[in-house]
């Protein structure tokens, strides 16, 4: 059992997954390759990402609202509450998004609360391959 930054006990580390529409295929490939490692986490994702991960990869994922309808803000709130260990947010940097302020909020909140955020597959791969992933949160300090 691990504890968040507020000292609340959590049964498993939570990992948030978000993928812009142009990066959904990348998320499926990433999640398929890392299925066993991801299954050790309590997963939360925005609505369409969660549905896709359940149907295509077979992962158990709790869904929040779609990103443009407040899902990004819901994940940012969970990060701020110390409920999320890391965020994998596969961003499509070449497409304009009407909810850009929410996207920026997720990134800002992750930085404020020192929660790792991966915005592309190579950085997500680095996170998943890190030996620190196996260390319960709070047992390693930087």
Residues present in the chain in total: 142
Give the Å distances, CA to CA, from 108 to 25, 35, 79, 124, 131.
Answer: 26, 28, 10, 18, 25
Alpha-carbon gap, residue 120 to 126, rounded angstroms: 10
Which of 72, 92, 102, 125 is labelled catalytic?
A: 72
Residues 6 or more apart whose Cβ sits within 8 Å of residue 36: none
72 is catalytic: yes
Residues acting as catalytic residues: 72
């Amino acid at each position: 059992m691990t504890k968040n930054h507020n000292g609340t006990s959590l049964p498993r580390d939570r990992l948030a997954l978000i993928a812009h529409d142009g990066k959904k295929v990348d998320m499926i490939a990433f999640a398929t390759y890392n299925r066993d490692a991801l299954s050790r986490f309590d997963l939360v994702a925005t609505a369409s990402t969660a549905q896709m991960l359940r149907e295509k990869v077979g992962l158990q994922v709790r869904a929040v609202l779609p990103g443009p309808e407040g899902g990004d803000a819901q994940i940012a709130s969970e990060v701020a509450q110390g409920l999320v260990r890391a965020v994998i947010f596969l961003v499509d940097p070449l497409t304009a998004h009407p909810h850009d302020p929410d996207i920026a909020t997720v990134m800002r909140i992750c930085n404020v609360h020192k929660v790792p955020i991966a915005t592309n597959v190579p950085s997500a791969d680095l996170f998943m391959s890190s030996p620190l992933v196996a260390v319960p949160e709070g047992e390693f300090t930087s």
